[in-house]
Amino acid sequence: MKYLLTHGHLIIDGNNEYLDGALLIDGERIQEVYYQSNKVGTIDEEYEVIDLKGAIVMPGFFDTHTHGIDGITFDACTKEQLDKLCYEFARDGSTSFLGSISYDLPTNMYDQRWDVFNGYESKWNRFEGIHIEGPFLSPKHLGVGDPEKFLKPDVNLYKDVLAKTNVLKQVTVAYEREGAKEIGKFLHDNNVRVMVGHSDALESDLDENVDGFTHLFNAMRGLHHRDITLVNAAFTNKYYCEVITDGNHVSENVLKLVMNNIDRNKIVIVTDSSEARGLADGEYVSFSKHCIKKGTKYMTVDGHYAGSVVSINDEIKELRKLGAKYTDLLLWSSLNAFKLYGLDQQFGTLVKGKYADLVIMDDDLNIKNVYSKGKFIYDWVLSKINNILCLFCFSVIWIKCLGF
């Protein structure tokens, strides 16, 4: 399909926005960007013109750390369930994502996961690969984990994984543990991002193979006035920092500290969402533990967070409330993550030639529509519903004609 989107508030990149811009889209690519809608010349009649009436347009979100949604996890999903995961993420604006395998999954189950993920392509959005959170983590920072499942680091596990799949893109490891540096070098040499988390490490434990930190502040030592912890190291602006910005995992005053003092090009919003995201409030089981979902909180019965239940869209609303600019939100929800994975030449800004993966929102950042893989998500769904209704009506008419 070919579209001309006019009168949109376009958030172009980390520095520029057009208050009344226009986008020319042909299929999956941006053909042209206009800083003013009245600068659009004569357009081929094949292009459908859509007046956005001032709606905000940003590049699609890239969630690099999510465990699931709607009762489905990457630990256990079938390919059919993976389709549903992709659809639900796309509806929430995540036009790209990494699926996260948890430390709760026994390593002897990994091969079964590759059978599901190898060669998979979503019709809704872009499945960019898998993040393994563990299993070589610190017993001192379990989160909701079982200490018996936090194993002694062994590089052979990842050698075996990479011999069987090319979907592995990120690993979380506790870098202070013996053998972790060997893992870091092996992963780095094989183009897998190395994130340190669920860790008691200091900056002195890190090396040149480390890319950043998993869910900053959570499951690691806190800020210290003498020890250079991972949190301290985040403020040196050398590392990418995942942050869960639901207002629960990191309080609002600390989120402001992050926004104002960490390089805006190093912050990456992640959901770390659990399978309880999208479900009603109630009691569920995650990481083999009973958990309670209430509003935006999801916690074990003994008071530990078990992942989030929010979307990237929910998180940018929280940051906007705290004073973030739209251009900041573009960096943190999209471009920085694409840079981390070497995909920023194709995604993450509204630039001619890049993929037209878009999130269209009102002034309160509520999603009005998502454009991904050459189609509007909600339009596609509505067309399917209309087709079903038409088929039903036709069947009813046909049955009546036959005299039944």
234-250 confidence digits (pLDDT tens): 999 999 999 999 999 99
Percent with pLDDT over 90 in the chain: 87
With CA atoms as reference, report the closest residue to 168 among 68, 98, 268, 264.
98
DSSP E strands in 47-167: the ranges are 48-51, 56-59, 61-66, 68-69, 72-73, 94-101, 126-133
pLDDT band, very low/low/confident/very high, at 400 (cuts 50, 70, 90): low
Tell me, what's the pLDDT at 265? 98
On the question of pLDDT at 209 being above 80, the answer is: yes
CA 328/CA 335 separation, integer angstroms:
10
The reported pTM is 0.93
Higher pLDDT, 390 or 360: 360
Residues 6 or more apart from 16 whose CB is under 8 A from it? 327
On the question of pLDDT at 114 being above 60, the answer is: yes
With CA atoms as reference, report the closest residue to 147 among 195, 198, 196.
198
Token duo for residue 320: 């906007």
On the question of pLDDT at 31 being above 80, the answer is: yes
Tell me, what's the pLDDT at 386? 47
Q: Interior CA angle at 35 toward 34 and 37, to 5°?
A: 65
On the question of pLDDT at 392 being above 60, the answer is: no
pLDDT band, very low/low/confident/very high, at 45 (cuts 50, 70, 90): confident
